[in-house]
Structure 1
Amino acid sequence: MTTSATPRTRLAPPAAGAAGLRATALVVVLGSFMSVLDTTAVNTAMRTLGRSFGAPLTTIQWVATGYTLALATVIPVTAWAVGRIGAKRLYLTALVLFGAGSALAGLAWNTESLVAFRVLQGLGGGMLTPVGMTLVLRASGPERTGRAMAVLGLPVLLGPLAGPILGGALLDAASWRWIFFINPPVAAVAILLAARILPHEVPRPGRRLDLFGLLLLSPGLSMLIYGLTHGRDPAFMLTGGAMVLGFIARALTCDHPLLDLRLLARRPFAAAAGSEVLFVCAYFGSLILLPLYYQGLRGQSAAHSGLLGIPQALATGVTMQFAGRLIDRHPPGRIVLTGVLVATTGFLAFTVQVTDDVPFWHLQTALAMLGVGVGLTMMPTIAAATRSVAAEQVPLATTAVTILQQVAASTGTALMSVLLTHAQRTAPHPADAFRHTYGWAVALMGLALLPALLLPRRQPE
């Protein structure tokens, strides 16, 4: 196989078979685990970051929102960039960006600099998973695809377990800066392994990048969400809304749009996308609230608040492993509908118990039920969306669902921070403010049942 740098130079062929798959998977899992670990650890630090920079929640939440918006920006660019420079080079670039962004975030001197460096992190982190998946699937071949997907699921299972615990321990023992400083050494190891192990390849340019659509979508979403969180000046919201509408018009008329919204004309795809957006907005948006409740209202340390999240993360990760198998044998409508119903019930049971003295195990039981519902919803919904389109449209469908997921997570985080801030000004008791905000998230999650009812509930003949 030839190198992408000098196409006429012959190199040794990449490692093949089980050994090659294990080596490639090692590199990819290391990079993906680092990204997932960082994302979940940062949520634990929101209260500390707000105090350190003297920033309100509606401002400091941009540490999370900026990251997820960067993910949404870079995802559609990834497939184009793989064709232009090759998967290995792009994966190395992603690791460098993530490591550099992490180091700079640890050195941040104010909220604005931290958000900017988190965006840089997100540009790298957003490429790690899709490019890593491409590398592993190429190394596995069709006969080992199932094994490869199981390996790729490890960071999703372990990251949410380890992230809050590690983040909390670093906050209590050192400072918030070490949540970011632990990433560069891991990134450096991953870069060395990737440079040595991953196979070289010849770039194969594919479809053109819709640069104009990209310039409309990312700034438009940023201004729209900024307007949502800082509602005193409607100019940002109006300008952002106009840019997003312009992007939608282009996506419906352009030959090769950044995001193929014409897929929404298919009822199963539209139903899956609708369920995913509402569910993700409610669930991932509410993740910013739990550490604030445990640390601010219940007086728990950052480390202990991370430990309290283990039952939910474990329930989600384990259920995801089973859900991936269920979707092959049962119609997606039944699985997703069950998942949303279980998650909403668990979320409601948690919300009504949010006080300043409820036993923690009561909350953990309800959150574990929520975790089971999340595990039954997330992957089956994506599978339902991609199954509803022709084989040649699967990459477009996957990209569309992933972007919509990240946009929903960004919007949900901003929305929940605004709702909590407003509730804290008007609620008679701090616990009432959290319960009121969680109530909105439960209602939003319950709305995901409506599009889920439109998903196929019978296996195709």
Structure 2
Amino acid sequence: MNADRAKPPSCAAPSDRVDPALRRLTVTLIVGALAVIFDTTIMTVAIDNLAGQLHTSLADIQWVSTAYLLALATVMPAVGWLQAALGGKRLWIAALGLFFAGSLLCACAWNVQSLVGFRVVQGFGGGIMMVLMITLIMQAAKGRNIGKVMSLITVPTALGPVIGPVLGGLILHLGDWHWIFLFNVPFCVVGAWLAARHLPEDEPAPRPRLDVLGMLLLSPGIAAVLYGLTQLTGSDGLTSPRVALPLFAGLALLLGYLGWALRRGPDALINIRLFRHRALASSSVLVFLSGAALYSTMLLLPLYWQQVRGESALGAALLLIPQGVGTLLSRALAGRYMDRFGPRPVALAAFALTCAATAPFGFVTASTSNIALMTVLFVRGVGLGAAMITIMGAPFVGLKPEEIPQGAGIGRMAQQIGGSAGTALLAVILQRTCAGARTPQALASGFGDAFWWAAAFTAAAVPLCLLLPGRPRPDTQVQDTMPAEQPTEA
């Protein structure tokens, strides 16, 4: 009894708390990341306005989003090498500066062609930041309290869909499109100042070697696949040359990279052998499906309220707020339960709840109560928020510190490709189900069919949750990701 009394009261507590230094680092990175998240979500309500003010067609203005998406995906595979070459702090500040410069250039664009070019600059900076943020935080966490850490990291992801469209509607109502890009500037400036003060100094790795052939295969392959998917809307499907050529060329490049990476092993740009970790492999598939479920419904929901119910862009954005509120409220609880029971049961319950709350939209009509739909959206947000935390945190269970950058890159690429694939597929389905619809009732029926597909994406993820890790073992949680003798960062 005296021995128990002699133990410091905090001897077991540190593993249950997020270290203040880690929390400060996370907040520092989130401030900069908000610029990328808000820019992406604000743009969803600005496309029509941009087409009108730049006197161009909707097909041409879509390149403002497509070019950004392709730049984002192209740079993601190289983030691990860039971090090794420059160091995490230097790379973060450089990427933030690149996004800042791209935002200012976009605000000064004089036509659609210049705007598309400047969006590429933004995309390079944003792609680096989205991967590097997770990498730096998970490396600092050293495998501890992954659930609680992920509940902090996902703040920008949860805030973006809630606040972004509303901000976009307000900006376009009060000003013109230039302010959409100038809105990013304060986040970039404050984020860079905080990074210079709070990010730990780290030295570049000794003489890192870039996998040049891997880069020439993987980055163009991802970009070509995403480009092909973006061309599905308004085409004849996979038989259309503008879809089939880039899509199959991209798949060929990715297959070439697969053979090259298996041969090169750990020295490949992205080490394919990491998929031997069941947690990483199953989480990547789930991140792909959740990206499809999230982004596809973010396309369908505003369009349903605008085209069927006659809401304005701002009105549709306000009706989406309950989903974001549910996502925010579920983060802390999901992170706590993930650390206690493991990712598997939390993800299983979260995806089942998300699927159950998506299915009611399959029955929407032109007069369905908005109160009922907003209530269902709140429940869907609760499930979606919990699901994202578990599947974004699970890949890092069992990874070594040097494997974390590539694990983060794999997760972000899976989410990006899944979101693009889901959005493209739902856009094609919506186009065909609503073809010839001339009344709100007919349009609502077409949207209902598309919503059933969104529910199917989520349902497909439920059984895959059983492959995620179960309850963590307290005696190995930290040792799996960091040697025991290495001291914790202050």
Q: Which TM-score band (shorter chain)?
A: 0.7 to 0.9
Give how far 1:197 is off: 5.7
Give the letter aligned to residue 118 of structure 1: R
Letter matched to residue 67 of structure 1: Y
- Shift in Å at residue 177 of structure 1? 3.3
User: Once the 2 structures are TM-superposed, how far is the Cα of residue 238 of structure 1 from its aligned partner?
Assistant: 2.7
Q: Does 1:160 align with 2:170?
A: no
- The offset of 1:32, in angstroms, is 1.5
Q: 1:392 to 1:227 in 2, by over 3 A?
A: closer
**Residues 150 and 393, structure 2, Cα contact 8 Å, conserved in 1:** no
The residue that corresponds to 2:4 in the other structure is none
Contact preservation (8 Å) 1:69, 1:218: no
Contact 1:73 1:214 (C-alpha < 8 Å) held by counterparts: no
The reply on whether 1:400 has 2:401 as its aligned counterpart is no
Report the counterpart of residue 307 of structure 2 in structure 1: 296
Q: Could you tell me which residue of structure 2 aligns to residue 373 of structure 1?
A: 383
Task: Please list every run of 5 or more consecutive structure 2 residues that lacks an aligned counterpart in the other structure.
Answer: 1-18, 475-490
1:410 and 2:411 equivalent? no
1:72 alignment partner in structure 2: 73
User: What's the % identity of the aligned pairs?
Assistant: 36
Q: State the match for 1:204 in structure 2.
A: 205
1:438 maps to which residue?
A: 451
**Two-structure CA RMSD over aligned residues (Å):** 3.4
1:160 aligned partner, one-letter code:
P
- The amino acid across from 2:465 in the alignment is A
Identify which of 348, 353, 356 aligns with 2:366: 356
Aligned with 2:283 (options 263, 272, 289): 272
CA contact (8 A) 2:278 2:467 kept: yes
Q: Shift of the alpha carbon at 1:201?
A: 4.5
- Counterpart among 310, 318, 332 of residue 329 in structure 2: 318
Q: Distance in 1 between matches of 2:388 and 2:148?
A: 20
Give 1:180's aligned amino acid: F
Partners of 2:163 and 2:380 in 1: how far apart?
A: 19
Q: TM-score, normalised by structure 2?
A: 0.78
For 1:454, the equivalent position in structure 2 comes to 467
Residue 246 (structure 2) pairs with residue 245 (structure 1): no
Deviation at 1:301, TM superposition (A): 2.4
Distance 1:254 1:137 in 2: 26
Q: Which amino acid aligns with 1:445?
A: T
Counterpart AA for 2:457: L
CA 1:291–1:265: 2 relative to 1, 3 Å: same
Shift of 1:171: 2.0
Task: Quote the offset at 1:212 in angstroms.
Answer: 2.1
- Higher mean alpha-carbon deviation, 425-434 vs 140-149, is at 140-149
1:258-308 deviation digits (Å, cap 9, x = unpaired): 223333344443322222212222222331222222233322222222221
Aligned partners of 1:61 and 1:417 also within 8 Å = no
Aligned to 1:11: none
CA–CA separation in structure 1 for the residues paired with 2:190 and 2:298:
30
Give the direction of change, closer, same or farther, for the CA distance of 1:424–1:174 in structure 2 (3 Å limit). farther
Q: Distance in 1 between matches of 2:255 and 2:138?
A: 36
TM-score, length of structure 1 as denominator length: 0.83
Alpha-carbon spacing, 1:245–1:214, altered in 2? closer, same or farther (3 Å): same
Deviations 1:105-148 (A, max 9, x none): 33446655544433322221222344445666788899999987
Q: Distance in 2 between matches of 1:391 and 1:101?
A: 32
Number of residue pairs aligned between Structure 1 and Structure 2: 442
The Cα of 1:340 is off from its aligned counterpart by 1.1
- The answer to which of 188-197 and 232-241 deviates more is 188-197
1:218 and 1:135, CA in 2 relative to 1: closer, same or farther beyond 3 A?
A: closer
